[in-house]
Chain A
Amino acid sequence: MDQLFQTINGIPVIGLIAQLIGYLVQELPFLSHAAVSISIPIIFAALCGVVCERSGVVNIGLEGIMLTAAFVGWVVGVLAQQVLGHGDPTAIFGFTLPLIIALIAAILAGMLLSLLHAWLAISVRADQIISGTIINIIALGLTGYLISLISKSSPRGAGSFSPLQIPQNIQDVPLVGWLINAVFGQGPIAITAIVITVLLQLLLFRSRWGLRTRSVGEHPKAAETVGIDVIKLRYRNVVAGGALAALGGAYLSMEITNSFQPGMTQGRGFIGLAAMIVGRWTPLGAMGAALIFGSSLAISQSVTFAPPTGSLGDLMAKIPGQFYSALPYLVTIVILAGLIGRSTPPAADGQPYTREATT
């Protein structure tokens, strides 16, 4: 058997592919876990996009909303810790009072910024892409300004939530052990992401709110005639979307790291938008697409930390590391360019609604 593998791996091209598959299978436990944790902020961003755009509001500002939430979460954590002390973290997830307060503050900050976007997009009827870009510039500027004031005293953060430890014997269960660890061996915000995705999928297609949201996004005029308040529903959805994006931001500064860096979202909001488009504006589809992006990044991490051996390893060592860091962005462009023709957005997406409109 080993000899057979040896022979196959020796064939040019096919051998390399065989080695790659072998490597991926061997690294599967690490890869799957990393792919899920990397995807979480992208999933939240994509969900925010789904909730907003299904009701007809384009939200390019979710990158800035995430960044702001990441910042507020970290700063409020610092302050709450100074006032309340660190406290003992709970055994599961490592909850502390400062962290909980910080998380709530982060969500509120995201909702507030989202409200600004909602006001600009719905009431002022500004171009929604320009409005979203302004949200991004505000977030980048204000967090950058404040962090450079705050970091002079280099304060101590409130730490971070800790992942659920899946016992080794469950991890070792053949075939599904790695999957359980990948999905549930995560922190509280990450697990929330997966739960919310499934919940949103049900709500969007099986609930009254979902039906109303979709009708407002497809044909607001018709929705209005059957008594749905288009403006109110859009406001609600955009603000709720802000809470989702904020969770993604909080995840970055309070779960996978315990610090804040200027511009730390690094385009994840935009990758989330791409995931939403590729996932055809459905929560589950968006999560699937986000996982593809997450996997590309996980593979690039894995190649750096545990490079494959043999001729595949030799080949990969020749590829500069910068290629791997650019990989998620390349993958986003390729997938977006490859799939979009078959993906149709809600009909009224991005169009401001006026009650008196005669169209």
Chain B
Amino acid sequence: MTDAPPARRSVTGLIGAAWGALALPLISIVLAIVVGGVVIVLTAPIEGKSFDFGLPFAAYGALIQGSVGSFDAIVSTLRFTAPLLLTGLGIGLGFKAGLFNIGGQGQFLIGAVAAVACAEALSGASPFIAIPVALIGGTLGGALWAFIPGFLKATRGAHEVVTTIMMNYIALSTLSWLVSGPLKLPLSPQPVTADVGNAALPILIGIDGHLGVLIAFLVVPLIWFLLYRTTLGFEIRAVGANPDAARYAGMKPRRMIVLTMSIAGGLAGLAGAGNLLGVNHQMSASFNTSVGFDAITVALLGRSNPVGIVFAALLLGAMRAGAPLMQIQANVPVELVDVVQAIILLFLVANAVIRRLFRLRGVKANLGTTETMTATYGKEAIR
């Protein structure tokens, strides 16, 4: 396992190791920001404006101001970080096991709607009962949504890339049905659910720093411990590195696949539940999220490592938190964030080019244990 904690090293060795791990993501981020700026300049004429080389600076200035410019902005960044952190941890866990879960969106949505359903069922209960039940309900909802593709991959060999995407669309339909049918607020003209009432997460800090944010950050050491200090974590990594070897060593790859997918889905479900109970408080038919793809970026940028994922989630969270101000002040659409993160990923994957350009030696090239992902594509069920 290359991920084992490093042995004692000299100071220069440590700096070298840190640079080795951080150089590629950092350079990718910087280059992506530059390319994003170029995109802003080049696309300004679409709106009939002339080329304005100040515009990227205005846009990024507003983005920074909206994400870390004030106490409220920082809290807002943390709030946007929380769901990305949880979902990203789940997707990173999947990467470790050689699974590519692109169903974060669906698992998040089902987690949120399950939390609403629990809150509705417990509308008279005290917060000390309603909150834990709704959070656990959301977690289980997300876990179930990921269990299905995991089970189908383990038993039938249906590749999770296709099935999880399908589950995303089924989640959208399910949500739309629940919100306009069984969970609809009676007498409301719009399809919305009732307020979550006592299940609403308390605000701990600032305007919107709810309990769910704290929970998300507390989950990080748990997942780290699970991955690197438990037998289960070892088995997950072993199955991801080489399913055949893991099987000969007496592990059960099929069970690991189902379990890993379910845990990942549970984390995404918890993210959805946290967001709904902490931010939205009720669900409308248009409830949706970009967490699914964002979390893939987070997991890849963080190299599937829980600590790396924290920093990656903070970056993406800051971008999501600052984007609205960027749109208001600089008139640059919030979708720029999608463009920038796509370019970050592009540079991360095309790392050979960056390493040649910047003459980086000894920098880790691979994105983590992802080699088996494409290898199991379309293959028969894993024994």
Contacts and interface: CB of A to CB of B under 8 A. Distances in A.
B158 A127 contact: no
B176 A349 contact: no
Interface string A319-331: 0101101100110
B156 A341 contact: yes
Interface residues of B, number: 58
Contacts of A343: 378
B87 interface: no
Contacts of B48: 153
A318 to B, nearest CB: 11
Contacts of A134: 342, 345-346, 349
B346 A326 contact: no
A272 B273 CA distance: 32
Contacts of A129: 100, 161, 373-374, 377
B333 interface: yes
Contacts of A323: 173, 177
Closest 6 CB pairs of A and B: A141-B338, A326-B173, A322-B177, A350-B374, A145-B335, A345-B378
A137 B374 contact: no
A230 B297 CA distance: 31
15 contacts: A126-B349, A142-B338, A145-B333, A267-B168, A277-B159, A320-B177, A323-B173, A326-B174, A329-B166, A333-B163, A336-B152, A336-B158, A336-B162, A341-B157, A345-B377
A141 B102 contact: no
Most chain-B CB neighbours within 10 Å: which of A131, A273, A329?
Answer: A329
Interface string B303-346: 00000000000000000000000000000010111110111011
B207 interface: no
A218 to B, nearest CB: 14
Q: DSSP class of A's interface residues: helix, strand, loop or mixed?
A: helix
Nearest to A322: B177
Interface string A135-165: 0111011101110111011000000000000
B341 A137 contact: yes
B352 interface: yes
A201 interface: no
A149 B333 contact: yes
A329 B169 contact: yes
Main secondary structure of the interface of B (DSSP, over half): helix
Given A124-B350, A130-B300, A266 B152 contact: no
A67 to B, nearest CB: 12
Contacts of B335: 141, 144-145, 148
A118 to B, nearest CB: 13
Contact of A141 (B46, B100, B341): B341
A130 B373 contact: yes
Contacts of A150: 46
Contact of A267 (B166, B339, B353): B166
Interface string A273-286: 11001000000000
B220 interface: no
Contacts of B337: 141
B342 A322 contact: no
Contact of B377 (A142, A330, A344, A350): A350
Contacts of B100: 129-130, 133
Given A134-B349, A145-B39, A270-B165, 18 more contacts: A127-B367, A130-B100, A130-B349, A138-B346, A144-B333, A144-B335, A145-B338, A152-B47, A153-B47, A277-B162, A322-B173, A329-B166, A330-B170, A333-B166, A337-B156, A340-B157, A340-B378, A349-B377
A142 B166 CA distance: 23
Contact of B349 (A131, A266, A330): A131
A337 B158 contact: yes
A19 interface: no
Interface string B44-66: 00111000000000000000000
B1 interface: no
Contacts of B163: 333, 336-337
Interface of A: 53, 58, 60, 120, 124, 126-131, 133-134, 136-138, 140-142, 144-146, 148-150, 152-153, 266-267, 270-271, 273-274, 277, 320, 322-323, 325-326, 329-330, 332-333, 336-338, 340-341, 343-345, 349-351
A133 B296 contact: yes
Contacts of B377: 58, 129, 345, 349-350
B342 A142 contact: yes
A344 B380 contact: yes
B11 interface: no
Nearest to B338: A141
A336 B379 CA distance: 12
Contacts of A344: 380
Contact of B381 (A144, A336, A341, A345): A341
Contacts of A266: 169
B82 to A, nearest CB: 21
Interface string B201-242: 000000000000000000000000000000000000000000
B160 to A, nearest CB: 10
A60 B373 CA distance: 12
A270 B162 contact: yes
A149 B161 contact: no
A325 B172 CA distance: 10
